[in-house]
Amino acid sequence: MKTVYILNGPNLNLLGKRQPDIYGHETLQDVEVACSKLVEAAGLSLRFLQSNAEHQLIDWIHEAREGACGLIINPAAYTHTSIAILDALNACDIPVFEVHISNVHKREEFRHQSYVSMRADGVIAGCGTQGYELALSRLIRLLG
Ligand code: DHK
């Protein structure tokens, strides 16, 4: 069975508790449940992961490079700083989508720059946690 990877970066383990005015009230587990339903309906399997550590995200991208049919990533703050994550994504030949829960372009200037966007096939920002489902439905259509 083909596997979709959904990777989440630092502080997203606090989703639902952290700045709900910006990131909403849904937890990361709620997001995983919603994504699982879409992935299962498409006959795919899901690896849904979160880490606060850059090296762990990079190791999972390497894993996805070997075994995944597509990758969705919310790199959180590493979006704006991590050339290492960009390099890891550039080593992947699978479709890559970048998700941000908030509209980063409406926020502080340091959030306007994304290294990951230099590789992503699509970017979704400002659609709340629904952004994960939007990215997934695009990925599933591409794979179809
Ligand atoms: C999440 C974060 O933690 C921030 O560092 C990013 C992103 C935005 C989001 O909107 O999902 O700047």
Among residues 114, 83, 88, 11, the alpha carbon closest in space to that of 53 is found at 11
Q: What is the mean pLDDT of residues 76-104?
A: 98
Q: What is the pLDDT of residues 51-73, one digit of tens each?
A: 999 999 999 999 999 999 999 99
Portion of the chain with pLDDT greater than 90, in percent: 99
pLDDT for 27 equals 98
Number of domains in the chain: 1
Q: Would you say the CB of residue 73 lies under 6 angstroms from ligand 1?
A: no
The domain in which residue 41 lies consists of 3-143
pLDDT for 1 equals 87
Closest ligand 1 atom to 131 CA: 11
The three-state secondary structure class of 67 is: helix
Neighbouring residues of 59: CB distance < 8 A, sequence distance ≥ 6:
none
- Known binding positions for substrate: 74, 80, 87, 101-102, 111
pLDDT for 80 equals 98
Of 23, 78, 115, 132, the catalytic one is: 23
pLDDT for 48 equals 99
pLDDT for 86 equals 99
pLDDT for 20 equals 98
Among residues 89, 90, 85, 94, the alpha carbon closest in space to that of 9 is found at 85
Closest ligand 1 atom to 111 CA: 12
Judge whether 100 counts as a catalytic residue.
Answer: yes
Residue 115 has pLDDT above 90, yes or no: yes
Distance from C-alpha of 51 to C-alpha of 73, rounded to nearest angstrom: 12
pLDDT for 104 equals 98
Q: What is the DSSP letter of 80?
A: G
Distance from C-alpha of 48 to C-alpha of 42, rounded to nearest angstrom: 16
Q: What is the DSSP letter of 18?
A: S
What CATH number does the domain containing 50 carry? 3.40.50.9100
| Amino acid symbol at 98 | E
Two tokens, residue 36: 């699982």
pLDDT for 35 equals 98
28: confidence class by pLDDT, cuts 50, 70, 90: very high
